Copies of this chain bind each other. A is one copy, B any other.
Amino acid sequence: MAKYTEMSDEELALEIRDLRAEYRKYQGMNLNLNMSRGKPCKEQLDLSMGMMDTLNSEADMTCEDGTDCRNYGVLDGIHEAKVLIGDMMENNPDDIIIYGNSSLNVMYDTVSRAMTHGVMGSTPWCRLDKVKFLCPVPGYDRHFGITEYFGIENIPVPMSPTGPDMDMVEKMVAEDDAIKGIWCVPKYSNPQGYSYSDETVRRFARLKPAAKDFRIFWDNAYGIHHLYDMDQDYLIEILAECKRAGNPDLVYKFASTSKITFPGSGIAALASSPNNLVDIRNQLKHQTIGHDKVNQLRHVRFFGDIHGMVEHMKKHAAIIRPKFEAVEQIFEENLGGRGIGEWTKPKGGYFISFDSMDGCAKKIVAAAKKAGVTLTPAGATWPYGKDPHDSNIRIAPTYPTLEELKTAATLFTVCVRLVSAEKIAADRASTPVQVQQ
């Protein structure tokens, strides 16, 4: 297919005319589709309905150590939940704290605690003149939102298919003790679906931060969220690697079952070193008497063990894999070779990252919106919502039905083509023509 930039003015004008007609056709369809957030679809939610039967009124509500899960107590989670989530996170059950329904809330709490109480005895961050966080970009808007809310300066660091730019990360954390953390989605990253390479993980574990209270916020949100059974990304387990590297306290690792059972009604967890866990439990004992043990027990009884959970994830994959493949096929067919955009082809997670020509993302998202398809706002993948290239758009293919998704993805490509063609035409019109003498 022809590159748009190589088209003649006449060809481009014809293309724009055709695309406008096609776009108007979509506008006439009164669409109301949403590719904005990483939400499971109804069929995925139905996979976990069996969990609702695991604890009925006849159920034994005691856990293995005899604790009645209905009553108060057990601050950091019932043991069998730690075992299950430990297998899920690839961590020792003893290194895990089970929380409530939201790993985002655990991350928020972790930053909040550091603000008011520091990290393992360090000066509370709220007492420092300046606190900075590194934010691999494009990245997860809700991560950046937490640190922004606390007045922490979010500093973008470029992502690549192997992870963040580690030369930059190593240099910055070594030189600036105001840098207290970095947000990471190390596997099937949000939004690219990239997984950190072995070298990246090893370099993370060997960081030499100037700040003793620097921590890696390792949000392994998609650890077992593969699209394929064999063709999976593998991530070196960070806590073990940090331990081997002599930096055992460097990482807070987060995960949840939000996209395994029910978003908002799953269980979240944090894994970290014994030193960090002592620090955290000292807060936790003032914060709560304990999290929802009945829901922990419900999850354990439903899955049995990690094999049960892995088999369950295959059912998720069977539902959402065709959606990822449909988007990729539509993008390839409609955008391939035109030189107006690139997109990732993840093997897991919940997103596809799309990069338009510079200066087109906001217009593409606005055009899609006007035709009834909601996308994540352009810029959302950057700190403060400001993408300096105005090029990155996060595509979330899981929530719509396959048919809806195909419509939405096709419209999206129409918007990309139209906005890109119009931009190229406008750029040409505003550029003085080099007249051949």
Judge whether A24 is part of the interface by a CB distance below 8 angstroms.
no
CB-based nearest B residue for A293: B264
Q: How far is the CB of A63 from chain B (nearest CB, A)?
A: 12
**Residues of chain B contacted by A291 (CB below 8 angstroms):** 100-102, 264
Contact A150 B52 (CB under 8 A): no
**Residues of chain B contacted by A56 (CB below 8 angstroms):** 52-53, 56
> Do A262 and B294 contact each other (CB < 8 Å), given the known contacts A100-B100, A104-B288, A116-B112?
yes
Judge whether A115 is part of the interface by a CB distance below 8 angstroms.
yes
Contact digits for A110-135, partner B, Cβ 8 Å, 1 yes 0 no: 00100110000000101100000000
Judge whether A59 is part of the interface by a CB distance below 8 angstroms.
yes
Contact A264 B73 (CB under 8 A): yes
Judge whether A232 is part of the interface by a CB distance below 8 angstroms.
no
Give bound CA distance, A100 to B290, whole Å: 11
CB-based nearest B residue for A40: B71
Contact of A287 among B48, B57, B108, B287 (CB under 8 A): B108
Contact digits for A260-297, partner B, Cβ 8 Å, 1 yes 0 no: 00111100000000000000000100111111111100
**Residues of chain B contacted by A289 (CB below 8 angstroms):** 102, 104, 142, 263-264
Give bound CA distance, A131 to B290, whole Å: 28
Judge whether A406 is part of the interface by a CB distance below 8 angstroms.
no
Contact A262 B102 (CB under 8 A): no
Judge whether A50 is part of the interface by a CB distance below 8 angstroms.
yes
Contact A286 B70 (CB under 8 A): no
Contact digits for A141-183, partner B, Cβ 8 Å, 1 yes 0 no: 0100110011000000000000000000000000000000000
Q: How far is the CB of A124 from chain B (nearest CB, A)?
A: 7
**Residues of chain B contacted by A53 (CB below 8 angstroms):** 56-57
Give bound CA distance, A150 to B286, whole Å: 10
**Residues of chain B contacted by A210 (CB below 8 angstroms):** none
Contact A287 B39 (CB under 8 A): no
Contact of A265 among B57, B102, B295 (CB under 8 A): B295
Contact B295 A292 (CB under 8 A): yes
**Residues of chain B contacted by A59 (CB below 8 angstroms):** 52
Give bound CA distance, A146 to B69, whole Å: 25
Contact B265 A70 (CB under 8 A): yes
Residues 15-59 of A contacting B (Cβ, < 8 Å): 37, 39-40, 42, 45, 48-50, 52-53, 55-57, 59
Q: How far is the CB of A60 from chain B (nearest CB, A)?
A: 11
Give bound CA distance, A124 to B145, whole Å: 19
Contact of A105 among B57, B287, B294 (CB under 8 A): B287
The 3 closest A-B pairs by CB, nearest first: A265-B294, A72-B263, A70-B262
Could you pull out 30 A-B pairs where Cβ atoms are within 8 angstroms? A39-B71, A45-B61, A45-B68, A45-B71, A48-B70, A49-B57, A52-B56, A53-B56, A53-B57, A71-B264, A72-B263, A73-B264, A100-B100, A100-B291, A101-B291, A102-B288, A102-B291, A108-B287, A108-B288, A112-B112, A112-B116, A115-B116, A124-B126, A126-B126, A126-B127, A142-B289, A263-B289, A264-B290, A264-B293, A265-B293
| Extra pairs beyond A39-B72, A56-B56 (19, CB < 8 Å) | A37-B72, A48-B70, A52-B55, A52-B56, A52-B59, A53-B56, A70-B262, A102-B290, A104-B287, A104-B289, A105-B288, A112-B116, A124-B126, A126-B126, A146-B287, A149-B286, A264-B290, A264-B292, A295-B295
- Residues on A lying within 8 angstroms of B by beta carbon are 37, 39-40, 42, 45, 48-50, 52-53, 55-57, 59, 61, 68-73, 100-102, 104-105, 108, 112, 115-116, 124, 126-127, 142, 145-146, 149-150, 258, 262-265, 283, 286-295
